[in-house]
Structure 1
Amino acid sequence: MSVRGENSPKRAAPLHSNHATEFHLSSEKEQQEAIEHIDEVQNEIDRLNEQASEEILKVEQKYNKLRQPFFQKRSELIAKIPNFWVTTFVNHPQVSALLGEEDEEALHYLTRVEVTEFEDIKSGYRIDFYFDENPYFENKILSKEFHLNESGDPSSKSTEIKWKAGKDLTKRASQTPNKAGKKRQHEEPESFFTWFTDHSDAGADELGEVVKDDIWPNPLQYYLVPDMDDEEGEGDDDDDDEEGLEDIDEEGDEDEGEEDDEEDGEVTSVKHFFSSLL
Structure 2
Amino acid sequence: MSAPAAKVSKKELNSNHDGADETSEKEQQEAIEHIDEVQNEIDRLNEQASEEILKVEQKYNKLRQPFFQKRSELIAKIPNFWVTTFVNHPQVSALLGEEDEEALHYLTRVEVTEFEDIKSGYRIDFYFDENPYFENKVLSKEFHLNESGDPSSKSTEIKWKSGKDLTKRSSQTQNKASRKRQHEEPESFFTWFTDHSDAGADELGEVIKDDIWPNPLQYYLVPDMDDEEGEGEEDDYDDEEEEGLEDIDEEGDEDEGEEDEDDDEGEEGEEDEGEDD
Do Structure 1 and Structure 2 share a fold, with TM-score over 0.5? yes
Aligned to 1:252: 252
The secondary structure found in structure 2 opposite 1:122 is coil
Contact kept, 8 Å, 2:174 with 2:185, in 1: the verdict is no
The secondary structure found in structure 2 opposite 1:127 is strand
Q: 1:170 to 1:30 in 2, by over 3 A?
A: same
Q: 1:32 Cα deviation (Å)?
A: 1.9
Determine which of 16, 21, 42 is the counterpart of 1:18.
16
Contact kept, 8 Å, 2:143 with 2:153, in 1: the verdict is yes
The secondary structure found in structure 2 opposite 1:177 is helix
Q: 1:99 to 1:241 in 2, by over 3 A?
A: farther
CA deviation map 1:70-123 (0-9, x unaligned): 000000000000000011111111111111111111000000000000111111
Q: 1:12 to 1:91 in 2, by over 3 A?
A: closer
Query: What runs of 5+ residues in structure 2 fail to find an aligned partner?
Result: 18-22, 266-277
Q: 1:120 to 1:224 in 2, by over 3 A?
A: same
Moved more, 177-186 or 129-138: 177-186
Q: 1:127 Cα deviation (Å)?
A: 0.6
The secondary structure found in structure 1 opposite 2:177 is coil
CA distance in 2, matches of 1:236, 1:217: 36
Please report the RMSD computed on the Cα atoms of aligned residues, expressed in angstroms.
4.6
Moved more, 31-40 or 208-217: 31-40
Q: 1:176 Cα deviation (Å)?
A: 5.5
1:1-278, aligned counterparts within 5 Å? 17=15, 26-172=23-169, 174-175=171-172, 187-239=184-236, 241-242=241-242, 245-246=245-246, 248-249=248-249, 252=252, 255-256=255-256, 259=259, 263=262, 266=265
CA distance in 2, matches of 1:193, 1:141: 13
CA deviation map 1:142-200 (0-9, x unaligned): 11111111111111111111110111111115346999999886742111111111111
Q: 1:180 to 1:48 in 2, by over 3 A?
A: closer
Q: 1:39 Cα deviation (Å)?
A: 1.0
Q: 1:61 to 1:250 in 2, by over 3 A?
A: farther
CA distance in 2, matches of 1:180, 1:153: 39
Q: 1:237 to 1:16 in 2, by over 3 A?
A: closer
Q: 1:231 Cα deviation (Å)?
A: 1.0
Q: 1:181 to 1:91 in 2, by over 3 A?
A: closer
Q: 1:18 Cα deviation (Å)?
A: 8.9
Q: 1:263 Cα deviation (Å)?
A: 3.8
Contact kept, 8 Å, 1:176 with 1:183, in 2: the verdict is no
Q: 1:253 to 1:49 in 2, by over 3 A?
A: farther
CA deviation map 1:1-52 (0-9, x unaligned): xxxxxx999x999897499xxxxxx333222221111111111111111111
**Greater Cα radius of gyration, structure 1 or 2:** 1
The secondary structure found in structure 2 opposite 1:98 is coil
Query: What runs of 5+ residues in structure 1 fail to find an aligned partner?
Result: 1-6, 20-25, 267-278
CA distance in 1, matches of 2:219, 2:204: 15
| Equivalent pairs, count | 252
**Percent identical across equivalent pairs?**
92
| Greater fraction helix | 2
Taking structure 1 as the reference length, the TM-score comes to 0.79
The secondary structure found in structure 1 opposite 2:11 is coil
